[in-house]
Amino acid sequence: MSKNKPTNKIEARSDLRFAIVASRYNEKHVDYLIDRVQARLREKKIPASAITLTRVPGANELPYVASMLALTGDCDCVIALGVVIAGDTPHHEIIANATACELQRIAVDTQVPVINGIIVTLNEAQADARVFGEHDRGTEFANAALEMAMLGNRLADYLEQLDRNDMERERNEEIFGSFSLDDEEADDEDDFFGSSDNPYHKN
The answer to whether position 100 is within a domain reads yes
Contacts of 141 (CB under 8 A, 6+ apart): 33, 36, 37, 79, 81, 115, 117
pLDDT-derived band at 70 (thresholds 50, 70, 90) equals very high
The domain total for the chain is 1
3-state secondary structure of 70: helix
pLDDT, residue 170, reads 73
Domain that holds residue 37: 18-152
The answer to whether position 197 is within a domain reads no
Q: State what percent of residues in the chain have pLDDT above 90.
A: 67
The answer to whether position 104 is within a domain reads yes
The answer to whether position 182 is within a domain reads no
The answer to whether position 93 is within a domain reads yes
The answer to whether position 11 is within a domain reads no
Provide the CATH number for the domain around residue 40: 3.40.50.960
Q: Mean of the per-residue pLDDT values for the chain?
A: 87
Active site residue 91: yes
The answer to whether position 27 is within a domain reads yes
- Does 25 or 9 have the greater pLDDT score? 25
- Does 201 or 121 have the greater pLDDT score? 121
pLDDT, residue 201, reads 52
pLDDT-derived band at 156 (thresholds 50, 70, 90) equals confident
pTM of the model: 0.78
pLDDT-derived band at 197 (thresholds 50, 70, 90) equals low
The answer to whether position 96 is within a domain reads yes
From 29, 91, 92, 201, the catalytic residue: 91
